[in-house]
Amino acid sequence: MVQHKFAVGQAVEFLPGRMDLHVPRGTYTIVRQLPVEANERQYRVKNTRDGHERIMRESQLAPGAGSGSSSGSGAGAGPWDRPRAAAGKSPR
């Protein structure tokens, strides 16, 4: 059986192709490993910025920054994952 390259919870980067103009760039989190289809492994992924989920092929993904071999321990979190300061208040 073919092993998936990415683990559930792992941060990955989207590698857009010519036909992926409408797909937001950036970091995604692996939500679920899906069965092989058309001889390619697939994943259900969630965009870390807008929370939108979609299905992507393994060839469209690369390990996220700082994800290495970890499996979703928060590695690769971006500035959009930090708490926001309340309106009109300094983030101290």
Q: What is residue 84's DSSP assignment? A: P
Query: What are the boundaries of each domain within the chain?
Result: 11-68
pLDDT in tens, 35-84: 999 899 999 999 999 999 999 999 999 998 765 544 444 444 444 444 55
Q: Look up the pTM and report it.
A: 0.66
Helix (H) or strand (E) holding 31: strand 27-37
pLDDT in tens, 9-36: 999 999 988 888 888 989 999 999 999 9
